[in-house]
Structure 1
Amino acid sequence: MRFSAVAALLAATCSSAATGSVQKRDLATSEPHYPSPWMNPQASGWEDAYEKARAFVSQLTLMEKVNLTTGVGWEGEQCVGQVGSIPRLGLRSLCMQDSPLGVRFGDYVSAFSSGQTVAATFDRSLMYQRGKAMGEEHKGKGVNVVLGPVAGPLGRTPTGGRGWEGFSPDPYLTGVGMSETIKGIQDAGVIACAKHYIGNEQEHFRQVGESQDRGYNISETLSSNIDDKTMHELYLWPFVDAVRAGVGSVMCAYTQVNNSYSCQNSKTLNGLLKGELGFQGFVMSDWQAQHSGAASAMAGMDMSMPGDTVFNSGLSYWGTNLTVAILNGTVPEYRMDDMAMRIMAAFFKVGMTLDQPPINFDSWTSDTYGPLHAAVGQDYQQVNWHVDVQDDHGDLIREIGGASTVLLKNNGALPLSKPKFLAVVGEDAGPNPLGPNGCADRGCDAGTLAMGWGSGTTTFPYLVTPIDALNLQAIEDHTRIEAIFNNTASDTIESLVKQQDATALVFVNADSGEGYIDVDGNEGDRKNLTLWGNGDELIKSVSSLCNNTIVIIHSVGPTIVTDWYDSENVTAILWAGLPGQESGRSIVDVLYGRVNPAARTPFTWAADPSDYGTDVLYKPNNGNGAPQQDYTEGVFIDYRALDSRNITPIFEFGFGLSYTTFEYANLNVEKSNAGEYQPTTGESDEAPTFGNFSDSLADYVFPADSFPHIWQYIYPYVNTSSSLEEASADPDYGQTAEEFLPPGAVDSSPRPLEPAGPSLTAQPGGNELLFDTMYTITADVTNTGKIVGEEVPQLYVSLGGPDDPPVVLRGFDRMRIDPGQTTQFRAILTRRDLSNWDVTLQNWLVSEASKTVYVGPSSRKLPLSAQLR
């Protein structure tokens, strides 16, 4: 590409991004927020990392900085995303790799339980251990950045395709899941990436090309239109916990927020994430979520993934374009230095050093040898070393599978004890005929469901199906067992389950995943909330014939169980989520009582889909423009929605049974001596720069005599030595930076700190006074049964305002209690837990409304309460 053409492309893309299009003017808008806040080396927990980053970045040339921030292109090297290397200083290319439940495309790796599944444990320790184990496996494969965990989607609608990758539609539970997972991943020595920021709540219309391929006539991606209060109190909440946990990177999403693309949305990136939360890591784009050059840089994006504008195009908004933008002054030098500093600070914060081990796997082939540059089939060499990184993680996965299985109903049928005859029914009990990895990115629903589909998946090293584990148990118990893995074999199923002494185990599922895969018309998002494979009719048929029918559900979220859950012949129901590779052994542990269930459902099971009050937008609603998804429900999603309208669910959020019983007593509230809340004041330092680059365009020409040019590979070099003055004569390049970019975008002077944000020396995550302890809550929990069990007491708060949900989760614990023993539950309430976002003050405020705390085993069973004074 000629230099002048590069400049024209950059100018055109940035100009349209900065000014917006005519059709957007009457729609929701996102206010501008400039300049992009620069890094703060004084931030608590980041001091040493920034000292090392400064020592490294101050040595870099401009091209090396551009290399560090720009991906090399789709299938450019071994990982799903890599930036350019800096061989002069010994830094190999940084490797970004999916997924939030294991190393995607790797061999000899583990397939962990989903985020939603581990959330059901309500166990902080297991959340941390899972994160640590996943981090260790990525580290062992040579990965630098783990593309997870997930808080977007949060779970606005139960039919959303990727809710299972995250944790829960409750922001507090998701926040804990994010925090513990990030700590685990980064304690293993790799960078976590909190995604997809923000309002990324459905798969339909997330990308234009993907939507057009399905016949939808849209020209821009969906806009999630979210008001200020809802943003702060719901969708931003778990990202606050991620930032406080020290997360090194955040991924901006495909979708728009208030009609501004997530990866160039200055309000959400500059204003909220880097300003109000004081985030000190780097923002990377989702793959092809970047839509501009200078505009995305000035709006707060720090790394372009995978680097090319469209997969395998060889074109980039950054790379050469970013080099040009720095040289001609469109993007100020301090912004370039800030990008590089943020990336390297995250790198050093998790303990990485410049002598990183090599990447020892390849995302594009399972063969030992193949092209290093798969996009063009170039540089054939060894690309896979088949390193086994599993360690003993299978034991942890089995433990999480048992600890996350929710007992929704039990009429004395469980636990099983040497049953005489087991009739196992359902495709979900058996194997996929093509093998556990037989469908690319798990893009089918065949056999037992242990993970959803899409980029959030990994490769099964093995998959223990329910029938595998049940057969082994039957051999040990001398139990007769027969299984039918065809949901439509009605006559055969009937003849089996109506036999004398039969205990019927019916395995059913419901699947979903990422939008680029369509399974039976489910375009990522589920079409409805019914069970797949005619599962509801299967349950009704079996239970009409067998008076001891036990239902096991593997699913990506809630399903509608209204027609059969209360049948007297359905004697037990278990939700086993997406348990990963140890699925069968985990469920058998619970069925036979080796694990006493204590898990809680991390979402609500409503009686009717309309009870949720939200749904996926399945059809475009704005002509051929960006579909508009208005979040008119505000903070009222999942249990908050049903509670506010006094709708009775089938199984409420936080519900789960045990094989023993518990009682609650002696609630005590102790008030702390926290001082008054004060807005943060003061200023940042001036934006730092390091210089160290030449103004001569000739120094940036591709060095053809040094190494061969690889087609489609993204470089920082230019292909001409024409003068910048000549390039600027292009009509599309006639504006100065001040005219071209929004007001204040290039201002490098000290900036006022955000009142709701951290001080210069505080821990990132918001005003440090928000995390003061206001109250300590204790209660006694007694095991009144005959066997040892674990209980999950939950703390809820009524904030008391007319626009508040009746209760919101604000604490929990998972406690082992022996028969007859009493254990004290303890939780703290911070100022943040009791605050609302004031849209006028633009800060958090504890309202004058009367506030009440509740403690109990679920959101609808809260026997203990007290007013806060």
Structure 2
Amino acid sequence: MKPSVLGWDDAYVRARDFISQLTLLEKVNLTTGVGWESAQCVGETGTIPRLGFRSLCMQDSPVGVRFTDFNSVFSSGQTVAATFDRSLLYARGYAMGSEHKGKGVTVQLGPVAGPIGRSPEGGRNWEGFSPDPYLTGVSMIHTVQGIQDAGVIACAKHLIGNEQEHFRQTGEAAGYGFNISEPLSSNIDDVTMHELYLWPFADAVRAGVGSVMCSYQQVNNSQTCGNSKLLNNLLKDELGFQGFVMSDWGAQHSGVSSALAGLDMSMPGDTAFNTGLTFWGTNLTLAVLNGTVPEWRIDDMALRIMAAYFKVGLTLNEPPINFDSWTINTYGPLHAGVGASIQQVNWHVDVRGEHASIIRDIGARSTVLLKNVNKALPLKKPKFVAVVGEDAGPNLNGPNGCSDRGCDNGTLGMAWGSGTANFPYLVTPDSALQSQAIADGTVYQSIFDNYATSAIKALVSQADVTAIVFVNADSGEGYLHPDGNEGDRNNLTLWQSGDDLIKTVSALCKNTIVVIHSTGPTLIADWYNSTNITAILWAGVPGQESGNSITDVLYGKVNPAARTPFTWGPTRSSYGTDLLYLPNNGNGPPQSDFQEGIFIDYRGFDKRNITPIYEFGFGLSYTTFVYTHLTVTKLTAEKYTPASGMTSPAPTFGNFSTNLHNYLFPNTSFPHIRQFIYPYLNTTDAKAASGDPDYGQTAAEFLPPYATDGSPQPLLPSGGGPGGNPRLYDVLYKVTARITNTGAINGEEVPQLYISLGGPNDPKVVLRGFDRLAINAGQTATFSADILRRDLSNWDTVRQDWIVTAYPKTVYVGPSSRNLPLSKVLN
């Protein structure tokens, strides 16, 4: 049963009632994490025991509940995006949210719109959805709604420009031998920020997302978690975000200034893991007491946190957290960082429900059929199946045999990093295909060693063999480096000599089928057009039901309709973007200039007139479809009016004592846990309590003018509502087209709507609509899509607002970004 999800207005009424009861120490407890490994979740805030309020539990990940057991592992965001199916996006979000809810999690740290996938080598692209902002935006909307309908706060991350793992943190870079003084700076111009990177975050805000995570790296040489332009101006003012901003783990680099820049929650609370030191906690208490952080700001932080809390239906008496991130054992230390308080910490609650069927369905319906010659697929009781490749089999150490999945052993069901969860099981392609073969009476043999060349040749050269080659390419977060890949991929080739394996098999077998599990596109130009390679499928990173999902597609139980959520280019350089692998600024912050602007992925290929191997949005079916009868109807909409007026004044909830004695650590009977972050002072000497040698500076000495001003402010022209100016979401046109299944079997089709904005600096086309339609053989369905004012708008840097230019606009409908048979000029 869904909890009672509230609108923001009602949520704020409840939050105001709650916050008005709190002391300053309790407000600080809400905003500050208790420290790394100091509690059961990867991040927790302090408690408010007198009101029955337990700590807020923040937990990864984008594919399942991290660091626990009896949970599911879902397909990656990038994989589910390939379905182009809003209902599956929602179902996945709701199922994941339900599992987090069942474990006692308050905030699920996902979904991901940053990285968006500027460069295909990006290590964490698989956690997000697509380099197309529209597809990512739609994916954010339905995932956020699903998670929050399950009674858990969604956290949209990472804001913003977090497009590579290299140099995201100075300590991590030092571990790889690089001496840099500050994290990398992603340098993004105003148009690119609005039309590309901020676009899906606007969708998340409009969907009601409760929290947003600011990222590790800098934007335009300012730390994102202390960047007032980004957090206050763009996110909270322009986009109308009403929830709270939390730092990525260790991405906070200042105390007072980050609070005034718009950060609302510090995670995990300590300045560096397990130090016991904090920018907030004690120091935030002092900052409010001495006036460098005004009372309205701490009230605003607490109010935003509790509004998000009540919005998703959470109560003041939530059940306890029933797992522990630091041990799978039933008993262990409640505070793992110091090994104290041994007690029961895991109740091993099974939260999986019937989610395996959802995961299997998504895995199948996200598999993209890239090539299918002479109806090689679907398979129909083949005489002899030979499965080749390590990616078809198991990790010999078990599916969880590598910490945070930091290896590439066996089939790729999940990539690596903090975006992972423990597999309850992993159905390998080999096990599922073997079961199918036995049921069909098919001869079945498999080889998992990519380098067993002699044995592979002997197997696939036999008579009547259908060879299925499984290959992969992995990536992940920067703190792990499988095979020397420091999070980001070093190249776009297949791992474990997968390209050579394909060539070996296809040289001998005239019916070679290739299945790719990967975290993005790979270079396939050397072999994809071989006449012996009869079919190619991209199966993404499918989660625990991997083998069942690919078997369903290969044998036609599911007719594929998925579309590639990125472009497959002929060379690495054809993408026009790449990562920064070596520092370029001495020991200063490395500089990553996003000079390509909005022209990433298919937009860049179109601009440079480079022919991709498989374009964005491409995907085949076992049947065929014809597009006809495009109609475009102009609707009456209100004129666009820039927002005007003033904001409300910043909230305050009464005076508080400035007597430091009232904020001292409680008496000796109160348990003090080493390294745990508290809001209390340990002395009435404020400078000594802070541990800050610069304590005593006035706000005027280190803050810009008006940084502490809580008076009403003018509304931004582009603001005025969730996601920006409400007039941006007016429907200007309705588009329909007829799609006919001209084949002999039932199937699904993904019609896509693209728009040419017409200007000299615009992409050739941009995606602005899609649907996934089930159409029986010989039947016709109607594709319908709305064109919003936002869909036709460009960002004007002078007006600082969206405008619809006078350039002619054309709408296109077709099955991919480069196959658009229907078009009409908009009037």
TM-score (norm 1): 0.94
Contact 1:418 1:477 in 2 (8 A): yes
Equivalent-residue separation in structure 2 for 1:849 and 1:337 (angstroms): 47
Contact 1:264 1:299 in 2 (8 A): yes
Aligned residue for 1:702, secondary structure, equals coil
| Structure 1 pair 416–671 and aligned structure 2 pair: CA distance change class (3 A) | same
Q: 1:291-302, aligned counterparts within 5 Å? A: 291-302=253-264
Equivalent-residue separation in structure 2 for 1:161 and 1:191 (angstroms): 26
Equivalent-residue separation in structure 2 for 1:272 and 1:219 (angstroms): 27
Equivalent-residue separation in structure 2 for 1:275 and 1:735 (angstroms): 29
Q: 1:450-849, aligned counterparts within 5 Å? A: 450-722=413-685, 732-758=694-720, 762=721, 764-849=722-807
Q: 1:237-256, aligned counterparts within 5 Å? A: 237-256=199-218
Aligned residue for 1:121, secondary structure, equals coil
Pairwise CA distance, 1:727: 8.7
Contact 1:664 1:863 in 2 (8 A): yes
- For residue 200 of structure 1, what is the aligned residue in structure 2? 162
Aligned residue for 2:111, secondary structure, equals coil
Aligned residue for 1:778, secondary structure, equals strand
Pairwise CA distance, 1:137: 0.2
Contact 1:728 1:734 in 2 (8 A): no
- For residue 97 of structure 1, what is the aligned residue in structure 2? 59
Equivalent-residue separation in structure 2 for 1:255 and 1:734 (angstroms): 29
Aligned residue for 1:372, secondary structure, equals strand
Corresponding letter in the other structure for 2:765: V
- For residue 48 of structure 1, what is the aligned residue in structure 2? 10
Equivalent-residue separation in structure 2 for 1:336 and 1:696 (angstroms): 18
Contact 2:114 2:128 in 1 (8 A): yes
Q: Alpha-carbon deviations, 1:595-635, whole Å to 9, x = none? A: 00000000000001101000010000000000000000000
Aligned residue for 1:545, secondary structure, equals coil
Pairwise CA distance, 1:502: 0.5
Equivalent-residue separation in structure 2 for 1:140 and 1:685 (angstroms): 38
Q: Alpha-carbon deviations, 1:191-246, whole Å to 9, x = none? A: 00000000000000000000011111111000000000000000000000000000
Corresponding letter in the other structure for 1:638: D
Q: 1:42-121, aligned counterparts within 5 Å? A: 45-121=7-83
Pairwise CA distance, 1:687: 1.2
- For residue 248 of structure 2, what is the aligned residue in structure 1? 286
Contact 2:282 2:690 in 1 (8 A): no
Contact 1:100 1:457 in 2 (8 A): yes
Corresponding letter in the other structure for 2:784: R
Corresponding letter in the other structure for 1:780: R
Corresponding letter in the other structure for 1:649: P
Equivalent-residue separation in structure 2 for 1:727 and 1:557 (angstroms): 50
- For residue 25 of structure 1, what is the aligned residue in structure 2? none
| Structure 1 pair 335–99 and aligned structure 2 pair: CA distance change class (3 A) | same
Aligned residue for 1:537, secondary structure, equals helix
2:364 to 385, 390, 402: 402
Aligned residue for 1:183, secondary structure, equals helix
**Percentage of pairs with the same residue:** 72
Equivalent-residue separation in structure 1 for 2:405 and 2:566 (angstroms): 24
Q: 1:316-327, aligned counterparts within 5 Å? A: 316-327=278-289
- Runs of 4+ residues deviating >6 angstroms: 726-731
| Structure 1 pair 701–852 and aligned structure 2 pair: CA distance change class (3 A) | same
2:124 to 156, 159, 162: 162
Contact 1:360 1:385 in 2 (8 A): yes
Q: Alpha-carbon deviations, 1:39-67, whole Å to 9, x = none? A: xxxxx931110000000000000000000
Aligned residue for 1:284, secondary structure, equals strand
Equivalent-residue separation in structure 2 for 1:71 and 1:194 (angstroms): 19
Equivalent-residue separation in structure 2 for 1:685 and 1:854 (angstroms): 43
Corresponding letter in the other structure for 1:542: V
Matched, 1:209 2:171: yes
- For residue 18 of structure 1, what is the aligned residue in structure 2? none
Aligned residue for 1:51, secondary structure, equals helix
Contact 1:59 1:692 in 2 (8 A): no
Q: Alpha-carbon deviations, 1:142-167, whole Å to 9, x = none? A: 00000000000000000000000000
| Structure 1 pair 727–821 and aligned structure 2 pair: CA distance change class (3 A) | closer
Corresponding letter in the other structure for 1:677: Y
Corresponding letter in the other structure for 2:565: P
Equivalent-residue separation in structure 2 for 1:304 and 1:618 (angstroms): 29
| Structure 1 pair 730–861 and aligned structure 2 pair: CA distance change class (3 A) | closer
Contact 2:286 2:690 in 1 (8 A): no
Equivalent-residue separation in structure 2 for 1:638 and 1:507 (angstroms): 26
Aligned residue for 1:787, secondary structure, equals coil
Q: Alpha-carbon deviations, 1:694-741, whole Å to 9, x = none? A: 1110011111334121100000011112368x9999983453223331
- For residue 263 of structure 1, what is the aligned residue in structure 2? 225
Corresponding letter in the other structure for 2:45: V
Matched, 1:446 2:404: no
Contact 1:62 1:692 in 2 (8 A): no
- For residue 148 of structure 2, what is the aligned residue in structure 1? 186
Contact 2:513 2:536 in 1 (8 A): yes
Aligned residue for 2:694, secondary structure, equals helix
Equivalent-residue separation in structure 1 for 2:762 and 2:14 (angstroms): 45
Matched, 1:171 2:128: no
- For residue 423 of structure 1, what is the aligned residue in structure 2? 386
Corresponding letter in the other structure for 2:259: A
Aligned residue for 2:129, secondary structure, equals coil
Contact 2:237 2:716 in 1 (8 A): yes
Matched, 1:350 2:312: yes
Contact 1:149 1:178 in 2 (8 A): yes
Equivalent-residue separation in structure 1 for 2:59 and 2:371 (angstroms): 39
- For residue 3 of structure 2, what is the aligned residue in structure 1? none
Aligned residue for 1:520, secondary structure, equals helix
Equivalent-residue separation in structure 2 for 1:619 and 1:730 (angstroms): 34
Contact 2:282 2:689 in 1 (8 A): no
Root mean square deviation, CA, Å:
1.2
Q: For this pair of structures, how many residues does the alignment match?
A: 821
Aligned residue for 1:407, secondary structure, equals strand
- For residue 825 of structure 2, what is the aligned residue in structure 1? 867
1:273 to 222, 235, 239: 235
Corresponding letter in the other structure for 2:138: V
TM-score (norm 2): 0.98
Contact 2:567 2:602 in 1 (8 A): yes
Contact 2:683 2:689 in 1 (8 A): no
Matched, 1:149 2:111: yes
Equivalent-residue separation in structure 2 for 1:571 and 1:224 (angstroms): 42
Structure 2: runs of 5 or more not aligned:
1-5
| Structure 1 pair 842–709 and aligned structure 2 pair: CA distance change class (3 A) | same
Contact 1:61 1:692 in 2 (8 A): no
Corresponding letter in the other structure for 1:91: F
